[in-house]
């Protein structure tokens, strides 16, 4: 049986925090370390899953101890994934997350690395260095780290072991007639703008109507944040509920300076916070031209 959520984190010095133990225990270990030793940005390996075409997705997330401070770690010695890196599509902007939000200060399944099913089992290692501390996490294509990212096998809100829910992630699209993307791998698009004009992002979402609460589907919201980029990004709305009638939403993003940005849209349907399902990542590259305001 697949585990619903796994996490592996290790110190660069080689001291393992946790590997392969239940999520709650691993989260406690990270938080205990953070409280004892100060600021902490920790890489997380969530596990792996297969897409319908047979490719393996290695899923990663991160933990930012701060509930107020965003951390910028450019691709390079302080933010690298090897082998074949340092850039494997990981974030460079590590946003804080209030502990009242889903998952607390930990952001799960933020990005994936695609590995062909017939490829040799490589171990990809993500290294983050911040505030004088280096933490690394390796991937592990072992059966115990297989996760249910595309279908929720159990409702983990039940303490007695859960019941089948069969919830699936929303399908997110950046064009009404596009095929869209699903799950941690998600979907991508590219836009252009010139300062001071904002970039307008239109998106469409379809969902299976699960989970249901009070005899009604919870519904889908898409939360927006910066993922990469040289300057500050201001969104017209941080969280956009999908219109039930049109299945669509829209948000605008304003940039403080020119450059290449990646924005992250997280489409969620209200599934339990300890599951590896059911959300979909959307990544929007925005090429911003012009001159920065004086």
152-193, pLDDT tens digit by residue?
765 444 444 445 567 889 999 999 999 899 999 999 999 999
pLDDT band at 272; cut points 50, 70, 90: low
Residues 25 and 133 both lie in one domain:
yes
Question: Of 145, 180, 207, which residue constitutes the final position of a domain?
Answer: 145
- % of the chain at pLDDT higher than 70: 78
55 and 176 belong to one structural domain: no
Which residue reads 């409280």 in tokens? 35
Same domain, 185 and 136: no
pLDDT of 278 > 80? The answer is yes
250 contacts: CB under 8 Å, gap ≥ 6: 200, 201, 202, 203, 240
pLDDT at position 35:
47
The answer on 176 and 273 residing in a single domain is: yes
Same domain as 249, residue 125: no
Domains in the chain: how many in total? 2
**Residue 208 and residue 104 in one domain:** no
Q: Rounded CA gap, 57 and 77, in Å?
A: 24
More confident residue, 121 or 135: 135
**Residue 81, in any domain of the structure:** yes
Residue 164 lies in a domain: no
The reply to whether 131 and 215 lie within a common domain is no
Q: Is the pLDDT of residue 13 over 50?
A: no
Query: Rounded CA gap, 38 and 34, in Å?
Result: 5
* pLDDT for 2 beyond 60: no
The whole-number pLDDT of residue 102 equals: 52
Is 1 a domain residue? no
Contacts of 52 (CB under 8 A, 6+ apart): none
Which is more confidently placed, 80 or 101?
80
251 in any annotated domain: yes
Q: What is the pLDDT of residues 189-225, one digit of tens each?
A: 999 999 999 999 999 999 888 877 777 878 899 999 9
pLDDT of residue 12: 38
Domain assignment of residue 120, given as a range: 8-145
Instruction: Pick the last residue of a domain from 111, 145, 179.
Output: 145
Sequence-separated (6 or more) residues with CB below 8 Å from residue 271: 152, 165, 167, 211, 277, 278, 279
**Does 162 map to a domain?**
no
Is 141 found in the same domain as 15? yes
Residue 3 lies in a domain: no
pLDDT at 138: 95
pLDDT of residue 69: 84
Given 97, 128, 145, the domain boundary residue is: 145
Whole-angstrom distance, CA of residue 241 vs CA of residue 122: 39
CATH of the domain at 203: 2.60.40.10
Same-domain check for residues 19 and 71: yes
pLDDT at 254 over 70: yes
Same domain, 13 and 137: yes
210: in domain: yes
């Amino acid at each position: 049986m697949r585990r619903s959520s796994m996490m592996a984190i290790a110190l660069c010095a080689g001291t393992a925090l946790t590997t392969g133990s239940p999520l709650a225990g691993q989260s406690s270990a990270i938080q205990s370390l953070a409280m004892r030793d100060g600021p902490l940005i920790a890489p997380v390996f969530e596990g792996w899953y297969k897409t319908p075409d047979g490719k393996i997705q290695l899923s990663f997330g991160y933990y930012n101890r701060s509930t107020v401070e965003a951390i910028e770690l450019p691709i390079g010695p302080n933010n690298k994934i090897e082998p074949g890196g340092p850039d494997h599509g990981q974030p460079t902007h590590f946003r804080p997350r209030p502990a009242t939000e889903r998952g607390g200060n930990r952001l799960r399944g933020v990005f994936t690395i695609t590995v062909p099913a017939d490829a040799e089992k490589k171990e990809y290692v993500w290294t983050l260095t911040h505030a004088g501390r280096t933490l690394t996490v390796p991937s592990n294509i072992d059966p115990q780290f297989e996760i249910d990212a595309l279908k929720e096998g159990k409702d983990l809100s039940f303490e007695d072991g859960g019941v089948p829910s069969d919830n699936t992630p929303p399908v997110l699209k950046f064009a009404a007639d596009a095929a869209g993307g699903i799950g941690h791998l998600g979907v991508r698009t590219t836009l252009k703008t010139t300062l001071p004009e904002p970039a307008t992002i239109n998106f469409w979402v379809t969902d299976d109507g699960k989970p249901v609460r009070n005899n009604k589907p919870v519904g889908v919201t898409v939360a927006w944040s910066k993922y990469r980029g040289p300057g500050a990004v201001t969104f017209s709305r941080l969280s956009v509920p999908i219109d039930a009638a049109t299945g669509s939403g829209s948000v605008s993003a304003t940039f403080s300076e020119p450059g290449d940005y990646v924005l992250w849209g997280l489409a969620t349907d209200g599934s339990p916070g300890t599951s590896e399902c059911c959300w979909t990542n959307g990544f929007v590259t925005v090429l911003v031209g012009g001159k920065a305001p004086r």
